[in-house]
Amino acid sequence: MFKYLIPLALFLVLVVFLAVGLTRDPHEVPSPLINKAAPTFRLPQLKDPSKTFSADDMRGKVWILNVWASWCVSCRDEHPLLIEYARTGVVPIYGLNWKDKPQDAIGWLEDLGDPYVLSAADLDGRIAIDYGVYGAPETYLIDQSGTIRFKQIGPLTPDVWSGKILPMVQELNRQGTAR
Amino acid sequence: MIRSLLVLLLLGIVTPFAIAREAQPTGDDPAVEQRLHKLSQELRCLVCQNETLADSRADLAEDLRREIREQIKAGKSDKEIIEFLTARYGQFILYRPRVTPTTYLLWFGPFVLLLGGLFLLFNYIKQRRDLVSEKPLSADERRRAEELLASDSAKETT
């Protein structure tokens, strides 16, 4: 009798593996950059190319770098959330405008609102390669020491924001003031 | 009939050239392009995932090819370039995953399964052979057989 249960048991194991596999998103590739130093860069600002923005300017602050582009459809979905989160003022959000035409990008921000403190223009996508960007939008949480603490691939969701990013921001700020 | 065969033959000769032309490297230095092509066939396009960097027409793939091309021209070795890419995109970008403890199952799992299968097959064959082969009767069995035969022949005589 037991002998006939073995194939059934194997089959159930297979079903469990496949079921778990189905719930995982193959587009979410674990980033090797988590807990590593955020790649440094100096790029012209989108709205005022005579000024630059560098990741080094943000030393000592907890901040968010959001990779976006006007040609990116999911960025449009994410946009209202970013506006809402920027309004709370919990953590400054900076934009990395990825392979975009500046006039398109500025137009996009004028139409939909600008959640970013400022956006840096990565016209040829070189800095995005340094950050391992492969699909906008992507969002990085960077701490006071310039270390990447969290990366969201794809649009932010309220769950990710309040469940992961906010607790980490609070924890980092607490550690920062205690130091 | 002969004419259609000729057409087919002609197509067979011409089409490989048509395909070859499309795949020709576009850059200026053929040696660099050849290395780029070879390298990018080992790399995954992260946007389309089941395409190599060499085959992909995604924007990001073009950027990455440009990056690789520049690094080749700057005299970087293949190993250094792959290191550069895995530091940013992780091992997922490699089509041939490295042999590390996390990929042992991936690399050696099929061989373990093969060995397991061979073991089961061997056991099964052995069992079958034992079933089929003729074994000499034990003393007990022989006595019973004789008894049966004796009672049978006794019946016949009556």
CA dihedral A97, A100, A106, A111 (to 10 degrees): -100
- Do the Cβ atoms of A125 and B46 come within 8 Å? no
Mean pLDDT by 10 residues, chain B (158 residues): 65 55 57 83 80 81 86 86 86 83 87 95 90 80 88 66
How are beta strands A119-122 and A148-153 bridged, if at all? unpaired
Q: What average pLDDT score do residues A97-106 get?
A: 90
Which residues share a beta bridge with B19?
Answer: none
Residues sharing a CB contact under 8 Å with residue B33, sequence separation 6 or more, in sequence order: B25, B26, B27, B69
Find chain B residues with C-beta within 8 A of A124's C-beta.
63
CA distance A98 to A71: 9
Q: Which residue of B has its CA nearest to A123?
A: B63
Find where tokens 């995953």 sit.
B97
CB A28, CB A154: distance < 8 Å: yes
| A26 closest CB neighbour out of B49, B87, B90 | B49
Q: Which residue of B has its CA nearest to A36?
A: B87
Best residue of A6, A25, A29 to probe chain B, by most B CBs closer than 10 Å: A29
Per-residue HEC secondary structure of A115-157 comes to CCCCEEEECCCHHHHHCCCCCCCEEEEECCCCEEEEEEECCCC
pTM for the whole structure: 0.69
| Residues A26-45: tens digit of each pLDDT | 666 677 888 888 888 899 99
Q: How far is A69 from chain B (nearest CA, A)?
A: 13
Find chain B residues with C-beta within 8 A of A99's C-beta.
59, 63
Q: Is the pLDDT of residue A157 over 50?
A: yes
What is the model's pLDDT at position A68?
Answer: 92
Closest CA relative to residue B62, chosen from A85, A99, A115: A99
What is the model's pLDDT at position B22?
Answer: 44
Q: How far is B105 from chain A (nearest CA, A)?
A: 15
- Do the Cβ atoms of A27 and B92 come within 8 Å? no
Residue type for position A102? P
- Do the Cβ atoms of B49 and A99 come within 8 Å? no
Residue type for position B115? L
Q: Supply B27's token pair.
A: 């850059």
Residue type for position B141? E
How are beta strands A63-68 and A138-142 bridged, if at all? antiparallel
Q: Supply A10's token pair.
A: 């194997």
Find where tokens 């395409």 sit.
B51
Find chain A residues with C-beta within 8 A of B92's C-beta.
29-30
What is the model's pLDDT at position B12?
Answer: 63
Q: Is the pLDDT of residue A131 over 70?
A: yes
The percentage of chain A sitting over the pLDDT mark of 90, rounded to a whole number, equals 31
Query: For chain A, what is the mean pLDDT?
Result: 88
Q: Is the pLDDT of residue A139 over 90?
A: yes
Give the pLDDT band of residue A178 (cuts 50, 70, 90).
Answer: low
Q: How high is the ipTM of this complex?
A: 0.71
Largest CA distance in chain B: 109
Per-residue HEC secondary structure of chain A comes to CHHHHHHHHHHHHHHHHHHHHHHCCCCCCCCCCCCCECCCCEEEECCCCCCEEEHHHHCCCCEEEEEECCCCHHHHHHHHHHHHHHHHCCCCEEEEEECCCHHHHHHHHHHHCCCCCCEEEECCCHHHHHCCCCCCCEEEEECCCCEEEEEEECCCCHHHHHHHHHHHHHHHHHHHHHC
